[in-house]
Amino acid sequence: MTSRRDFLERMSLAFGGVAIGGPLLAFSPKTKKNLELLIAELPNAEVRNEDFWGFVKQAYSSSGSLLNLNNGGVSPQPKVVQESFIEYYKLFNQAPSYYMWRIMTKEIEGVRQKVAEFSGVNADEIAFNRNTTEGLDTIIHGLNLSKGDEVVIGNFDYPNMRQAWNQRVLRDGIDLKIVQLQLPMNDEDEMVQAYVGRFSKKTKYVLLTHVINWTGQVLPVKRIAEEANKRGISVIVDAAHSFAHLDFKVSDFNADYLGTSLHKWLCAPFGTGMIYVRKGKISELWPSFSPPDPRSDDIRKFENLGTRNIGAELSIGKALDFHELIGSQRKAERLLYLRNYWIQQAQDIDGFQSFSPNNPDLSCALATVDIKGVEKLGQQLQAKYNIHTTDIHHEGVDGVRITPNVYTSLKDLDRLVAAFRSIASKRSKSQE
């Protein structure tokens, strides 16, 4: 059995001999192999091994005082990704048009191939953009739809997507059918039937939000997509909060379209995202920014943005390297473990309420909670305890969303729970 001292020494060696607790700045093939061998010697311990995750934490430049628990909005980048972006930025400033347009645009193809392999799809089905909104809006506005065509969406879909569909209603006279979910939901069958019950012979498309941003509810996308496929309904997936968070492949869903933000759970540079479009669907989808041939079946027609942040897109590759070094399954399990760790501790707090599911298959790192009788909970966490969260107010869900990431420690979450207890205690004393 590996002792703690031996583990720390070998972990240091695995990361190229950096000092214990030192920063993880780069990952060579040798480093990656050493770490994989070390992890293999720790069966059933990776998720709970705080020494290992302590080293992961050192890969980030997180604040020593502000506790960031809104990683769902946008995640920080590991230092190796930050440095990659900075180096590209410096290079491009030597001769921007030469390096960005003649040299480095070719390198994007290598990144495209890496992301496609990770996603389980072909490289000619992946296009890069700036975020999920841009990607899904490109898809929504690019579809051929006529008056009377039906589209099924959910009441917990992200506002920007709902707004895009509403514009299609105003512009084209399509019919929107809204699935009314009552969150949290712990029964997959119930969610599947909620969507299937809204399908009809007129339904052309269904939008499925894999992880609902308001509460962290995971939708059984694969099962709903299967039902849609049986009926000839095209499937669009919003994977903003699931890509590089949950352990899955884009190809698992048999969807026609998917959009995601890479600056969320992949921890890529800010303002990076991607869309997936099934090869046979590319030619019929209109791009938002017109290329020479808008009916082309080349996925790159969706990247006709003019001058864009090539350095950020190239650094997506470094973010993916870092993610794969940890491992998709290990990361997903750790994130769920962190969520369960603090939720379980907070259960006995007077007035504590969770709006997130208990079913582990339908849960993830995100969780939205409240303490009954406490006003402005998020503001109190920020002002009094220097804990950054985000307020949630949607469809009867009113609370604060807590979102840790791989660099979040158990001590950080103990600090959160202690803050909750303190706030609840002060509320109780004020009511006496």
Question: How does pLDDT run across 77-107, given as a tens digit for each residue?
Answer: 999 999 999 999 999 999 999 998 888 888 9
Average pLDDT over every residue of 121-144:
98
Q: Give the CA radius of gyration of the chain.
A: 23
pLDDT band at residue 70 under the 50/70/90 scheme: very high
Strand segments (E) across 140-272: 150-154, 175-179, 203-209, 234-238, 257-261
Ordered strands of the 367-371 beta sheet: 352-354, 367-371, 397-402, 390-394
Chain mean pLDDT for the chain: 91
Average pLDDT over every residue of 137-151:
97
The boundaries of every CATH 3.40.640.10 domain in the chain are: 84-321
- 255 neighbors 237 (Cβ within 8 angstroms): yes
Identify the CATH assignment for 84-321 out of 2.70.70.10, 3.40.640.10, 2.60.40.1180, 3.30.1340.10.
3.40.640.10
Q: In the prediction, which pLDDT does 55 show?
A: 83
Q: Which residue is listed with tokens 């707004």?
A: 163
pLDDT tens digits, 361-408: 999 999 999 999 999 999 999 999 999 999 999 999 999 999 999 999
Tokens read off for 86? 């900075």
Q: In the prediction, which pLDDT does 35 show?
A: 59
Q: In the prediction, which pLDDT does 9 show?
A: 58
CA–CA separation, 266 vs 199, rounded Å? 33
Instruction: Locate all alpha helices (DSSP H) within 71-204, ordered by sequence.
Output: 79-92, 96, 104-119, 132-142, 159-172, 188-196
Answer yes or no: is pLDDT of 129 > 90. yes
* 3-state SS class at 432: coil
Average pLDDT over every residue of 61-89:
93
* Residues 6 or more apart in contact with residue 245 via CB below 8 angstroms: 211, 264, 265, 331, 332, 335, 364, 365
Q: In the prediction, which pLDDT does 13 show?
A: 52
Better-scored residue on pLDDT, 125 or 2: 125
CA–CA separation, 293 vs 291, rounded Å? 5
Answer yes or no: is pLDDT of 22 > 60. no
Answer yes or no: is pLDDT of 310 > 80. yes
Q: In the prediction, which pLDDT does 42 show?
A: 54
* 3-state SS class at 37: helix
Answer yes or no: is pLDDT of 12 > 60. no
pLDDT band at residue 269 under the 50/70/90 scheme: very high
Q: DSSP of 46-95, one letter per residue?
A: TTT-HHHHHHHHTTS---SSSEE-BTTT-PPPPHHHHHHHHHHHHHHTTS
Q: In the prediction, which pLDDT does 30 show?
A: 59
